[in-house]
């Protein structure tokens, strides 16, 4: 598998994951509607004091209005638009990043490297930001290549040499070029929206289930009741599941960005060295909080969950195991060094 | 009659679409070429400063310095008179000379600790990298342009519309970059 095949494969996978994300979101909204109308239909008649001086039974209206679906979609759209315009500001502010202006040699080098990589990718130059943290980490944010930002930590600038810094910037530039920055900001917004909506619908469902429950006991529960229970469990676990989906998107994109970085610099070895240095610094990146963990080049929590393969790592890690990433890059370096023969050369 | 009109309309639409996409690629290619020119200019401006800064220390590499200076003068002249082939050849000599100077300067502790030389070296590697990346990007986009012209059915009309394929940058036959890099696969 070469660089381009890997890109293709990752793009396909990412599309499926993202589709699942949206289907999931709609399911929550529609389930809420079903649940709500079911509960509403069970209500008994209202008794209203009329002008003739006695109580009169009035049926509650049964017109169906898909308020949950509409609200869920509107909320998703609103969150997405907001994150598109303001996402990068929140991200940069939350890490206390400052604009790189070339105060010292290293900062100048950083800005130079950004310029080089923007020319290599044929994109406008992103703005460079520096995060005041001694751990090694980097991320990119923004809405489009025209409006993009690359941030690195002070520790990264200090510990990496020029080639390695170039590889890291190329990795972030690939996130920009592939529009990962947009997808990741939208994904973050969707995760937030789902957790809010799930919270809200669980509360209101609990409120209306008080009436629905009493009438379902009177014979009309059945299949509807079971569906509601399934939906209810689903909604309670929605924030967790959606977060896992977001992490899955980000994991796929890390491989793709590594591949594109190698393609931009034609130098997978420098990225291997940089990743190894980053891996060796096990401290957490304190300046980066959990909300934007999936944007960074490596997991800022500094936990060793990245190194764990298998189910736990597959579900909860924001990034693929460093081991696997480095191995993939080594394969690429090997293929680049012997393009004509895929087996020979290693005698 | 209607069928003929529909076919004619479809062909006209296809022509317009193809022409526009080719024009877009052509301009991107030209822009990438301009980017290379910008970097070459930067490099030419940088060389005299660099040579002045290091010639005191690097007495034993006067040959290399001379070579770079001569090649620079020739390249500028050739580019002004429009002889692109000669200009390219001289630029390649400069590339090799500069990378040699950068590697050799590591052997001179006085140069390494000199603040001005340090800045110049960073400036130089920036320019050299940018130049290499600009060429790489030009090659990528020019290849795209060429493929767009040469694939069916665009190849039927590309030359009639006045498009010619762009040339790619190639490394000179004896350059170091042609050698296979050594890869260490030990984990």
The DSSP letter of residue B55 is: T
Structure confidence at residue A213 (pLDDT): 46
- The answer to whether the beta carbons of residues A148 and A126 sit under 8 Å apart is yes
Rounded average pLDDT over B103-124:
80
Number of separate domains in chain B: 1
Whether omega before B153 lies within 30 degrees of 0, making that bond cis, reads yes
Nearest CA in chain B to A333: B183
pLDDT of A339 over the 90 cut: no
* A333/B35 Cβ within 8 A: no
* B187/A330 Cβ within 8 A: yes
pLDDT of A170 over the 90 cut: yes
Torsions phi, psi for A169 (to 5 deg): -65, -35
**Residue A22 to residue A190: CA distance in whole angstroms:** 9
Shortest CA gap A173–chain B (Å): 14
Neighbours of A192 (CB within 10 A): 18
CA pseudo-torsion sign A265, A267, A270, A272:
positive
ipTM over 0.85: no
* B125/A105 Cβ within 8 A: no
Nearest CA in chain A to B115: A105
Domain membership of residue B183 (yes or no) is no
Q: Which of A98-102, A168-172, A313-317 has the lowest mean pLDDT?
A: A313-317
**Residue A70 to residue B187: CA distance in whole angstroms:** 53
* A337/B181 Cβ within 8 A: yes
Domain boundaries, chain A: 3-34+65-337
Rounded average pLDDT over B23-38:
88
- The answer to whether the beta carbons of residues A166 and A275 sit under 8 Å apart is no
CA pseudo-torsion sign B150, B153, B156, B159:
negative
Determine whether A172 is an active site residue: yes
pLDDT of A299 over the 80 cut: no
**Using CB atoms, which residue from A119, A264, A326 is nearest to B130?**
A119
pLDDT of A107 over the 60 cut: yes
Domain membership of residue B68 (yes or no) is yes
- The answer to whether the beta carbons of residues B146 and B113 sit under 8 Å apart is no
Catalytic annotation, pick one of A164, A172, A254, A263: A172
Q: Say whether residue A330 is in contact with chain B using an 8 A CB cutoff.
A: yes
* A333/B133 Cβ within 8 A: no
* Each residue's pLDDT tens digit, A44-103: 566 677 777 777 766 655 566 777 777 777 776 676 677 667 778 877 887 888 999 888
Q: Say whether residue A342 is in contact with chain B using an 8 A CB cutoff.
A: no
* Each residue's pLDDT tens digit, A204-252: 666 655 444 444 444 445 566 777 777 778 777 777 777 777 777 777 7
Rounded average pLDDT over A283-300:
74
- The answer to whether the beta carbons of residues A262 and A171 sit under 8 Å apart is no
Rounded average pLDDT over B173-179:
55
Rounded average pLDDT over A102-118:
90
**Using CB atoms, which residue from B125, B137, B182 is nearest to A120?**
B137
Percent of chain A surpassing pLDDT 70 = 63
Domain membership of residue B21 (yes or no) is yes
Rounded average pLDDT over A179-204:
70
pLDDT of A345 over the 50 cut: no
- The boundaries of the domain holding residue B45 are 2-163
Better-scored residue on pLDDT, A154 or A193: A154
Question: pTM for this structure?
Answer: 0.73
Confidence at A202, pLDDT banded by 50, 70, 90 = low
Average pLDDT of chain A is 74
Residue A130: strand, helix, or coil = strand
Domain membership of residue B55 (yes or no) is yes
Shortest CA gap A75–chain B (Å): 39
Query: Which residues of chain B form beta strands (DSSP E)?
Result: none
Interface of A with B in 237-276 (CB under 8 A): 264, 266, 269
* Each residue's pLDDT tens digit, A133-163: 888 889 998 877 888 999 999 999 999 998 9
Domain membership of residue B173 (yes or no) is no
Structure confidence at residue B12 (pLDDT): 92
Interface of A with B in 77-96 (CB under 8 A): none
Domain membership of residue B7 (yes or no) is yes
**Using CB atoms, which residue from B28, B133, B185 is nearest to A120?**
B133
**Using CB atoms, which residue from A105, A269, A326 is nearest to B118?**
A105
Q: In this structure, what CATH number is given to the domain that contains residue B23?
A: 1.20.1440.20
Chain B residues with CB-CB distance to A346 below 8 A: 185
Rounded average pLDDT over A311-319:
63
Q: Say whether residue A108 is in contact with chain B using an 8 A CB cutoff.
A: yes
Domain membership of residue B174 (yes or no) is no
Structure confidence at residue B83 (pLDDT): 76
Structure confidence at residue A44 (pLDDT): 58
Structure confidence at residue A166 (pLDDT): 93
- The answer to whether the beta carbons of residues A92 and A56 sit under 8 Å apart is no
Q: If you write DSSP's letter for every residue of B153-169 in order, what string do you get?
A: TGGGTTTTTT--PPPPP
**Residue B97 to residue B47: CA distance in whole angstroms:** 11
Structure confidence at residue A56 (pLDDT): 72
**Residue A303 to residue A153: CA distance in whole angstroms:** 18
Confidence at B128, pLDDT banded by 50, 70, 90 = confident
- Take residue B170 and report the two structure tokens written for it: 């190639």
**Residue A27 to residue A235: CA distance in whole angstroms:** 9
Q: Say whether residue B27 is in contact with chain A using an 8 A CB cutoff.
A: no
**Using CB atoms, which residue from A112, A269, A346 is nearest to B126?**
A112
With CA atoms as reference, report the closest residue to B181 among A266, A341, A161. Answer: A266
Better-scored residue on pLDDT, B120 or A319: B120
pLDDT of A167 over the 90 cut: yes
Burial class of B28 by CB neighbour count within 10 A (0 to 12, 13 to 18, 19+): middle
Domain membership of residue B100 (yes or no) is yes
Q: Say whether residue B177 is in contact with chain A using an 8 A CB cutoff.
A: no
* Each residue's pLDDT tens digit, A254-289: 888 888 888 888 888 899 999 888 888 767 777 776
Structure confidence at residue A145 (pLDDT): 83
Q: Which of A97-101, A109-113, B19-23, B101-105 has the lowest mean pLDDT?
A: B101-105
């Amino acid at each position: 598998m070469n660089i381009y095949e890997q890109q293709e494969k990752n793009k396909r996978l990412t599309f499926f994951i993202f589709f699942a994300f949206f289907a999931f979101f709609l399911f929550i909204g529609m389930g809420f509607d079903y649940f709500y109308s079911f509960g509403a239909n069970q209500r008994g008649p209202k008794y209203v004091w009329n002008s003739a001086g006695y109580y009169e039974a009035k049926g509650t209206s049964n017109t169906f209005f898909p308020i949950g679906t509409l609200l869920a979609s509107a909320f998703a759209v609103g969150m997405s638009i907001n994150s598109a315009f303001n996402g990068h500001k929140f991200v940069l502010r939350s890490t206390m990043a400052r604009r790189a202006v070339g105060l010292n040699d290293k900062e100048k080098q950083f800005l130079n490297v950004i310029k080089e990589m923007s020319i290599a990718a044929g994109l406008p130059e992103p703005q460079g930001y520096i995060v005041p943290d001694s751990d090694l980490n980097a991320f990119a944010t923004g809405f489009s290549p025209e409006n993009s930002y690359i941030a690195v930590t002070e520790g990264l600038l200090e510990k990496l040499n020029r080639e390695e810094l170039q590889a890291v910037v190329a990795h972030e530039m690939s996130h920009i070029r592939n529009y990962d920055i947009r997808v990741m900001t939208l994904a973050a917004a969707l995760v937030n929206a789902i957790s809010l909506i799930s919270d809200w619908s669980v509360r209101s469902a609990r409120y209306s289930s008080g009436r629905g429950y009493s009438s379902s006991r009177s014979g009309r529960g059945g299949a509807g009741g079971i569906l509601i229970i399934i939906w209810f469990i689903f909604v309670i676990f929605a924030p967790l599941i959606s977060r896992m989906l977001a992490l899955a998107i980000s994991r796929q994109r890390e491989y793709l960005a590594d591949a594109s970085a190698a393609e931009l610099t034609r130098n997978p070895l420098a990225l291997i060295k940089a990743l190894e240095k980053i891996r060796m610094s096990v401290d957490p990146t304190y300046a980066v909080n959990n909300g934007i963990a999936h944007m960074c080049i490596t997991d800022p929590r500094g936990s060793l969950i990245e190194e764990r393969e298998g189910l736990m790592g597959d579900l909860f890690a924001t990034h693929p195991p460093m081991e696997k990433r480095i191995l993939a890059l080594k394969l690429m370096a090997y293929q680049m060094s012997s393009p004509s023969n895929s087996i020979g050369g290693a005698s | 009659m209607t069928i003929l009109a529909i076919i004619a309309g479809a062909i006209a639409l296809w022509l317009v679409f193809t022409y526009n996409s080719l024009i877009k690629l052509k301009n991107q290619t030209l822009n990438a070429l301009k980017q290379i020119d910008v970097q070459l200019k930067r490099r030419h401006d940088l060389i005299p400063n660099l040579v002045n800064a290091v010639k005191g220390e690097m007495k034993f590499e006067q040959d290399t310095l001379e070579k770079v200076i001569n090649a620079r003068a020739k390249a500028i002249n050739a580019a002004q008179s429009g002889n692109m082939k000669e200009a390219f050849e001289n630029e390649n000599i400069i590339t090799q000379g500069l990378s040699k100077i950068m590697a050799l300067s590591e052997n001179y502790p006085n140069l390494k600790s000199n603040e001005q030389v340090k800045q110049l070296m960073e400036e130089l590697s920036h320019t050299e990298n940018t130049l290499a990346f600009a060429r790489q990007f030009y090659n990528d986009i020019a290849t795209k342009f060429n493929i767009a012209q040469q694939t069916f059915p665009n190849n039927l009309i590309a030359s009639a519309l006045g498009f010619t394929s762009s040339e790619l940058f190639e490394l000179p036959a004896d350059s170091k970059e042609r050698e296979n890099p050594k890869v260490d696969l030990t984990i």
